[in-house]
């Protein structure tokens, strides 16, 4: 790839979300900034989760073990910034209860699961590096 990234302005309303059935973690997402489209070294996206909706289990361990997770990203650093909703993030050693204006860092090397435990739809922004696509 000829790496010459340029600044870009992306309008979320002009993108088509990936429905839950086709998304890697089984909740509706929209990849906003990607390696393929923008030559970025990070992926940025957004996620919508309905009340009671939950992801599958995903891993950012160095090596994928299908016995412990349904999806594998490889060794990535990931962050979420919660805009609205109440989420529960479960990882190998605990649980984080997340709400509006919370940020969480998902370190590489762990397995995760996310659930909307609130009564309203949740919406958050995520970043992942290295870029996934």
- pLDDT, residue 2, reads 60
CATH number at residue 111: 2.60.120.10
Instruction: Please state, in angstroms and as integers, the Cα–Cα distance from residue 118 to each residue in 15, 85, 98, 123, following that order.
Output: 26, 6, 10, 12
Query: Would you say residue 106 lies in a domain?
Result: yes
| Token representation of residue 30 | 């929209």
pLDDT(3) > 80: no
Query: Would you say residue 129 lies in a domain?
Result: no
Query: Would you say residue 81 lies in a domain?
Result: yes
Tell me what percent of the residues of the chain surpass a pLDDT of 90. 88
pLDDT(1) > 60: no
| CB crowding 10-25: b at 16 or more within 10 Å, else e | eeeeeeebbebeebeb
User: Residue 25 phi/psi, 5° resolution?
Assistant: -110, 10
Q: What is the tally of structural domains in the chain? A: 1
Q: What is the mean pLDDT of the chain?
A: 94
Query: Would you say residue 89 lies in a domain?
Result: yes
* Of the candidates 84, 73, 71, the residue with the CA atom closest to the CA atom of residue 106: 73
Contact 78, 106 (CB under 8 A): yes
Query: Would you say residue 6 lies in a domain?
Result: no
- pLDDT, residue 4, reads 82
pLDDT in tens, 94-125: 999 999 999 999 999 999 999 999 999 999 99
Query: Would you say residue 15 lies in a domain?
Result: no
Range of the domain at 30: 25-123
- Distance, CA of 76 to CA of 72 (rounded, Å): 10
Helix locations, 23-85, DSSP H: 35-38
pLDDT in tens, 26-38: 999 999 999 999 9
Tell me what percent of the residues of the chain surpass a pLDDT of 70. 98
pLDDT(72) > 70: yes
Banded model confidence at residue 132, pLDDT cuts 50, 70, 90: confident
| Token representation of residue 49 | 């989760």
Helix locations, the chain, DSSP H: 35-38
pLDDT(75) > 90: yes
């Amino acid at each position: 790839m000829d790496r010459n990234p340029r600044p870009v302005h992306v309008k979320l309303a002009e993108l088509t979300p990936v429905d839950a059935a086709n998304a890697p973690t089984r909740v509706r997402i929209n990849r906003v900034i990607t390696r393929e489209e923008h030559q970025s070294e990070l992926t940025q996206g957004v996620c919508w989760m309905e009340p009671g909706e939950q992801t599958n289990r995903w891993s950012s361990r160095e090596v994928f073990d299908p016995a412990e997770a349904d999806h594998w990203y490889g060794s990535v650093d990931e962050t979420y910034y919660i805009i609205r909703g109440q989420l529960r993030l479960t990882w190998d050693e605990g649980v984080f209860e997340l709400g509006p204006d919370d940020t969480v860092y998902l370190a590489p090397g762990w397995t995760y699961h996310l659930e909307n435990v609130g009564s309203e739809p949740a919406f958050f922004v995520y970043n992942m590096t290295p870029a996934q696509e």
